[in-house]
């Protein structure tokens, strides 16, 4: 019922030369059995959309909450869409930390993204300190109620669970820990939006997903795919992750 999704977050990595990796990925997956999304830096978005072709979608890594105006350096959801994006990552922990983004900001951006016709990939996740204090589920609950707008559906919302301590560190939660949080997110979505919508929203795990651990993670119930940072930069790394998701 939920189409699986392999999403790559290139972060602030890549100039035009990196498009060769996207080209290689597109050549390796001409008719993928899962959705593939690559979120390059905004400077590459337009060219990436052309290189990616029909089999791979491209997305932004952030957007402004307003449609236009005096916001130097920012990009609106409509601009991302105009450049070829069909989705945008919002509330990534690096933006929450580097730019002091709060749940309210993320919710406003998500609303703008949905109004512009983009899928909002909303990130939630606890710090190591919060996990060690046994606060993980409370943190996730607060981020979900604060960051996810009311008008969401299975078509315009994806939730990515990304424990901050697992991002770019090589540390991965146990499969039980991943399962516990994903089940919790699913239950909360169903409670807030009803079973139909709650069951149709895709849930991604993110945090040090690699070719070697992807199959195990994709075997966890309520994991509908992954949001991948470092291992999405090279086609040779991301391709086996996509293959593992196709076989899950
Ligand atoms: C991310 O930044 O969204 C991420 C999951 O990074 P990595 O895969 O490198 O841990």
pLDDT, tens digit, for every residue of 71-130? 999 999 999 999 999 999 999 999 999 999 999 999 999 999 999 999 999 999 999 999
Q: Tell whether the model's pLDDT for residue 1 goes beyond 90.
A: no
| Residue 125 near ligand 1, beta carbon < 6 Å | no
pLDDT, tens digit, for every residue of 131-169? 999 999 999 999 999 999 999 999 999 999 999 999 999
| Residue 130 near ligand 1, beta carbon < 6 Å | no
CA of 231, closest atom in ligand 1:
8
Compute the distance from residue 13 Cα to the ligand 1 centre, in Å: 12
**What single DSSP character describes residue 102?**
-
pTM of the complete model beyond 0.85: yes
pLDDT, tens digit, for every residue of 178-225? 999 999 999 999 999 999 999 999 999 999 999 999 999 999 999 999
Q: Is 180 exposed, middle or buried (0-12, 13-18, 19+ CB in 10 A)?
A: middle
Q: Tell the residue nearest (CA) to atom 8 of ligand 1.
A: 229
Q: Does domain 5-247 have CATH number 3.30.70.20?
A: no
State the catalytic residues.
92, 162
Residue ranges of domains in the chain: 5-247
Distances (CA, A) of 241 to 4, 122, 195, 229: 12, 21, 30, 12
């Amino acid at each position: 019922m939920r189409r699986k999704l392999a999403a790559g977050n290139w972060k602030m990595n890549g100039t035009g030369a990196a498009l060769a990796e996207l080209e290689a990925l597109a050549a390796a997956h001409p008719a993928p059995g899962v959705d593939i999304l690559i979120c390059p830096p905004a400077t590459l978005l337009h060219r990436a959309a052309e290189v990616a072709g029909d089999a791979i979608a491209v997305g932004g890594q952030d957007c402004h909450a307003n449609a236009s105006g005096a916001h130097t350096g920012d990009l609106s959801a409509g601009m991302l869409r105009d450049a070829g994006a069909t989705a945008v990552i919002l509330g990534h922990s690096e933006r929450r930390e580097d730019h002091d983004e709060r749940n309210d900001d993320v919710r406003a951006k998500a609303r703008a993204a949905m109004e512009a016709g983009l899928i909002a990939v909303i990130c939630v996740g606890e710090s190591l300190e919060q996990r060690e204090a046994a606060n993980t589920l409370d943190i996730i609950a607060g981020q979900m109620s604060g960051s996810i707008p009311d008008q969401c559906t299975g078509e315009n919302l994806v939730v990515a669970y990304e424990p901050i301590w697992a991002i770019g560190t090589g540390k991965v939660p146990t499969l039980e820990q991943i399962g516990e949080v994903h089940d919790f997110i699913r239950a909360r979505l169903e409670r807030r939006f009803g079973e139909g919508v709650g069951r149709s929203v895709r849930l991604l795990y993110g945090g040090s997903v690699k070719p070697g651990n992807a199959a195990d993670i994709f075997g966890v119930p309520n994991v509908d795919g992954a949001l991948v940072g470092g291992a999405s930069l090279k086609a040779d790394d991301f391709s086996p992750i996509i293959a593992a998701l196709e076989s899950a």
